[in-house]
Chain A
Amino acid sequence: MRRVGIFGKKLNRFRLVRFGRWILATALVWLNAAVSLAAEPVAVFPEVPYDAFIVYESLAVFWIFIIGLIVIIRMKLREIERTQRLGADEEDPNAPLLQ
């Protein structure tokens, strides 16, 4: 601990304040560099609010289309199951040919 004390006294002469200006300047330069290095991230999404709105709107329309298609397929499935229950899906080999 004594040694530290000696060094401490010597270090005391190199007061931080004396270098304050330089430290501040260097820090500012580094800060500047850091800010410019961390350049703005690449825009991976339309930045204009109007375009972004169009995208969300399209997404909603897309889902409406999907849900509509699913509803239609469900109706078709029910119809298919109904004809299968009736046995109407079997082809009648003796059916007359319509032209």
Chain B
Amino acid sequence: MKLDFSLITRRTFLNTLFFGWAAAFFSGAFYALMKFAFPTLGKEPDFVVLEGKAFKGLANNSVKPFPWGGTVGLYLKRADGSVLALKGVCTHMECNVAYKPEERKFYCACHQGWFDENGINIAGPPPKPLEIFEITEEGEKLIVARKGVKVELPKA
């Protein structure tokens, strides 16, 4: 079928073209602005390197915090002497958790959440366990890494 007249006026066509083009143009510029305004700086590290000395002498049934990016990691030596490193941030509302030695549990004071000494959520609102890290020893250094991350130390 051939139409004698266009259904779209020249004006509508040009308006659509203009506003569409301008929208693409400005969304591109806006994307660049947002990329600057929301940087990837301060994101979680893949691993941190710790001085082994300070952590190896830790007493049983106690924790030592270490910096993990902008937040805190916890190095736990259980009562039986086994060790565990985990991210000390509650999975509910991102409060820092504290270790309660007498109950052998992690406690989040914000909304009364409880985790056991394996980091499993056992009571309160937390929806999932704490994030567990892998610990490897390299001479004097302790390397705490996220699970499944290949550690590549920078050449000193």
Contact = CB atoms under 8 A, between A and B. Distances in A.
Interface residues of A, number: 10
B30 interface: no
B21 A68 contact: yes
Given A65-B25, A65-B28, A73 B10 contact: no
Contacts of A68: 21
B18 A79 contact: no
B123 interface: no
B21 A79 contact: no
Nearest to A62: B28
B24 A65 contact: yes
Contact of A72 (B11, B14, B28): B14
B22 interface: yes
Contacts of A66: 25
A79 B21 CA distance: 18
A49 to B, nearest CB: 21
B131 to A, nearest CB: 33
Interface residues of B, number: 11
A59 interface: no
A52 interface: no
Interface in A26-60: none
Nearest to B32: A58
Given A65-B24, A69-B25, A79 B17 contact: no
A75 to B, nearest CB: 6
Nearest to B22: A69
Interface string A63-88: 00110110011011001000100000
Nearest to B24: A65
Contacts of A76: 14-15, 18
Contacts of B24: 65
Interface string A6-29: 000000000000000000000000
Contact of B11 (A65, A73, A79): A79
Interface in B84-119: none
A73 B28 contact: no
